[in-house]
Amino acid sequence: MQKMALFVLFLLGILPGFIDAETGAKVPIVIGAYPDEDACGGLGEIRGIDKNGDGFVAVRSGPGTRYKIIDKIYSNGTRVHMCSSTGKWEGVVYGKGDCGTGSPLPAPQAYKGRCKSGWIFHRYVHLIAD
């Protein structure tokens, strides 16, 4: 899956921004990697938020701690669409209502829907449905 994600990033011309984390560029979440499957392959749930610690899971602009925090998720049980993965990072789409990730797409593309998107460390995202 990781090699496929890198290949898709290369095809979309996104790979240079992916390599240079200090540019501050947002690494898009690629959806529709597999034409016969939903645009995002899994439904995940946020788990492991320590209310006595930070109290949130950071959503970052790219797959790594050197990328900026663009949002924070404060609730265990929050549902996210799992769309991409790179190393130990999950590219997710989340929000209320239809995020447009439940149907197949003809080709891979960067997510540009109405919901939020970003990268979360894999330990906090647990697959609950394919």
**Number of C-beta neighbours around residue 63 at 10 A:** 24
* Confidence label for 21 from pLDDT (cuts 50, 70 and 90): low
Task: Give the model's pLDDT for residue 35.
Answer: 86
Task: Determine the structural domain holding residue 54 and report its residue range.
Answer: 2-129
Nearest to 92 by CA among 10, 28, 16, 3: 28
Q: What CATH number is associated with residue 95?
A: 2.30.30.40
The number of folded domains in the chain is 1
Q: Is a pLDDT exceeding 70 seen at residue 122? A: yes
* Whole-angstrom distance, CA of residue 7 vs CA of residue 11: 6
pLDDT tens digits for 59-114?
999 999 999 999 999 999 999 999 999 999 999 999 999 999 999 999 999 999 99
| Cβ(39)–Cβ(109) below 8 Å | no
Q: What is the pLDDT of residue 50?
A: 93
Average pLDDT taken over every residue of the chain: 87
Confidence (pLDDT) at 24: 67
Whether 16 has a pLDDT exceeding 50, the answer reads: no
Distance of CA 47 to the CA centre of its chain: 15
Whole-number percent of the chain with pLDDT over 90: 76
Which residues fall within 8 angstroms of residue 117, CB to CB, at 6 or more apart? Answer: 28, 29, 83, 91, 92, 93, 94, 111
Angle at 73 (CA atoms; ends 35, 107), nearest 5 degrees = 10
* Predicted pLDDT at 121: 98
